[in-house]
Amino acid sequence: MPDYQPVDLTKCYRLLNHGPTVLVSSAHGGRHNVMAAAWSMPLDFNPPKVAVVIDKATLSRQLIEASGEFVLNVPLQPQAAAVLQVGSDSGLQVADKFAASGLVAMSGHAVAAPHVAGCAGWLECKLLREPHNQQQYDLFIGEVVSAWADPELFANGHWQPILDDAKRTLHYIAGGHFFAIGDAFDVSVPD
């Protein structure tokens, strides 16, 4: 039984809102691929949109431009070495970055691009083609058409208390350096 559940599309921005590093997965013409992206963000609530930077010299870019689809996966601390690896290697040189990194591809729902197993959440996106942004800034915009999360971590539109350090999202700095997300806290606007 899969360990993920659908996320209300109006709440799916919350999977990205705190700035985690993501894995971008894609597929086209019998190839699939996965890369890391520290540079992504929500772009709108409803319909939900996202922005992500995808370098020209990547197989992912070829697959995304050809298929018009991608998935943003929100990886967790035990996946950090694999995130670093798929952020360093290129699918233009490595036959299968999933196999090489140990990351596991699962079928997507509304898109052909795969999910990466063991993540906190998954945003399935249709590319909103913006040739100027793609060429000038390597900037890709997508509409989230389907979203999923591990309910132990994110349920009913809310992040759940982190009971296990292995369930912390990753926030990449540079080199081999990451932050793990810390604990949640609440504030209110002063009267």
- The residues of the shown chain that bind a second copy, judged by CB under 8 A, are 14, 17-21, 38-44, 49, 51, 53, 77, 80-81, 84-85, 88, 132-133, 137-139, 141, 158-159, 168, 171-190
Residue 10 CB, shortest distance to a second copy, in Å, is: 11
d(CA 186, CA 191): 16
30/136 with CB nearer a second copy: 136
Residue 113 CB, shortest distance to a second copy, in Å, is: 21
Find tokens 């691009």 and name the residue: 113
112/141 with CB nearer a second copy: 141
95/189 with CB nearer a second copy: 189
Q: Is 5 helix (H, G, I), strand (E, B) or coil?
A: strand
Residue 32 CB, shortest distance to a second copy, in Å, is: 20
Pairing between strand 170-174 and 48-53? unpaired
Half-sphere exposure of 78 (CA within 13 A, CB side): 10
d(CA 85, CA 165): 21
Residue 2 CB, shortest distance to a second copy, in Å, is: 25
- Judged on CB neighbours under 10 Å (0-12, 13-18, 19+), 31 is middle
45/66 with CB nearer a second copy: 45
